[in-house]
Structure 1
């Protein structure tokens, strides 16, 4: 039996393989996405919305950084498995603290997040020493930036109220800025896109699986809400409307976006830069849009016949709108051109937001479904041509 290498061997049959330990790791984030959407639904105020966005940004960042690491290390090696299992344990603690992250469980959230980010990168940095000098220096840069952000995560966890929000906002800013500037450090300089030799197929599949996890949350919201309510024709129509919304979100991403982007990144001469733009950054509004859509589905099923005020209307329209923005960015990066269907869809949603006064929640949701259907079928007619 051949030895199991610690790092993925580029060009081998398993280089693009998504392993079972990665899928097992994702189970924690199934629970995490549930926590995020329920927390946002129950604290749907201007402040709660800002806190929710900060939590979404944090959760996405810890997951996508782990995905980048999994792109290099061999998940079949026992060291890699121990790393993933340790991250799962801390990640579960992180997830349980989400509802009270800005309250009584802030200490757990802040410390758990810092441990996951700094700990994972430090372990990989040590493993790369003497094996891959270029990536070793990359991870020195990454770990240094994450350690700096970790100071603000822990400081915010030890504080409370507005000061916690400010400190965690600074921490998020450091983490997101660091990748944008190539993790620049004095003496070591910065990383470039060509420094990151990645498997595009693996990255594309991992991010697609995370989108599936997020879409699955909307299914869970529909099922859980429906079981608590007395079934009626109106509720059944609301249920079908929410379900069709989820189908259309799935269709818009997977029918053309994921497939063609995966093909492009495989042949790109700079897969690192493309992966950073298309998957690390452009997927943020995709994930945020799905979570907000799940919140809207919960509002729809609970209040189908009520007038759609700003609270319910912003979720019903805002979720799909943010999702379309994410798809527009993703496909523009991957294809090199802006999908007109998405621009039209966003314009229709904007008109709907300005003219929806007095509509019931169910009527508004049906109109949103119609808008998404226009986008999906427009793209189908424009792009689904024989090759």
Structure 2
């Protein structure tokens, strides 16, 4: 078989954008799931479902960096995953009820089927070795997913959380097996393409935040308080958007120049995963404030209002520090302010807590707007990641 070549730079295709529409639906489902179950158990359930949905998107997107979407085989794979993903995402509201099997079976068909497909499309020997290990890790998690689908109530959450932890551990450690380790710098990979796909996925999350705000505004009475809380929500969304995109070009250049794009890509995938989770939480908090602006904020609303932006900012701060020697003090101060704000506004009206949370984010934007643009020095690759494939 011929090894599939991966161009250093490639435009995102209309089919990839079409594929993402299923995940616009998914993020909306997850936001509604969190709003419908505003408890610790509900949050844990939403998190497990979100991680599964994100894994389905991320690994499929990663696959398209290896076999371009222009390839007819990739087009067929994307459309198949899109069809399965529609059924998987439709099952989200009842995944911990009577639709557990529908969610798990479609998820496993995507996860295992796409990985098996990658092993048959002509990747080079090193890439095939990596995806064989990925398949082993996914297969190891599958019994936990299936056992959870057969269980009821809290037991389902425990089994599915265990499956999720297995998959996260595999991704974080590059899916090792005994005696099989791979130097990621020697694997071909279109890191710039993955970065662009991640930025587009982030726009999906912003779209859901705006849709949530608009829907809440439509349902609320048109009084000054509604206009205030909706304006605050939109201001916060715009500020978070600015933080993500205003200085992303130096990260783009890093992806284009780095000798280890897979390491940078893995860091970016994790950062995006947490950032989107933060946006979902923040959007849910905004909806609660618009619906009940003068109620006491309480722990649930405050964790959404302050915790969502904290997850979002923290993930991007970590990503920047992982790629560059550039740990921004302004972001650390903003994270500290969000923690303090969450603690001191528990008994305040919800609208006041929302104003304070957004004010912290806007203040961070204003500080970073004055910071000179430019690349930070690239962080050296840790020696622990420079390991060789013992099978060579």
Return the match for 1:100 from 88, 94, 99: 94
Return the match for 1:232 from 218, 223, 226: 223
Whether 1:299 and 2:291 are equivalent positions in the alignment is: no
List gaps (5 residues or longer) in structure 2.
377-392
User: What is the distance in 2 between the residues matched to 1:118 and 1:195?
Assistant: 25
Q: How does 1:202-281 map to 2 (within 5 A)?
A: 202-256=193-247, 258-277=248-267, 279-281=268-270
Deviations 1:47-105 (A, max 9, x none): 11111111122211111111110101121122111100000011001101111111111
Shift of 1:162: 2.3
Give me the TM-score of the superposition, normalised by structure 2: 0.91
User: What is the distance in 2 between the residues matched to 1:361 and 1:230?
Assistant: 17
Choose between structure 1 and 2 for higher RCO, CA contacts under 8 A separated by at least 6 residues: 2
Return the match for 1:309 from 298, 305, 310: 298
> 2:121 aligns to what SS in structure 1?
helix
Deviations 1:237-257 (A, max 9, x none): 11110000100010011001x
Shift of 1:6: 9.1
Higher mean alpha-carbon deviation, 218-227 vs 189-198, is at 189-198
User: What is the distance in 2 between the residues matched to 1:24 and 1:321?
Assistant: 31
Kept in 2: contact 1:8–1:71 (CA 8 A):
no
Deviations 1:199-256 (A, max 9, x none): 2221111111111000110111011111222211110111110000100010011001
CA, structure 1 residues 190+304, in 2 after alignment: closer, same or farther (shift >3 Å)? Answer: same
Aligned CA RMSD, in angstroms, stands at 1.8
Whether 1:151 and 2:140 are equivalent positions in the alignment is: no
Shift of 1:334: 2.7
Higher mean alpha-carbon deviation, 292-301 vs 15-24, is at 15-24
Kept in 1: contact 2:126–2:187 (CA 8 A):
no
Return the match for 1:332 from 317, 321, 331: 321
**Number of residue-to-residue matches in the alignment:** 375
Return the match for 2:26 from 23, 29, 32: 32
Give me the TM-score of the superposition, normalised by structure 1: 0.93
List gaps (5 residues or longer) in structure 1.
none
Kept in 2: contact 1:113–1:153 (CA 8 A):
no
Return the match for 2:77 from 83, 97, 107: 83
Paired position in structure 1 for 2:125: 133
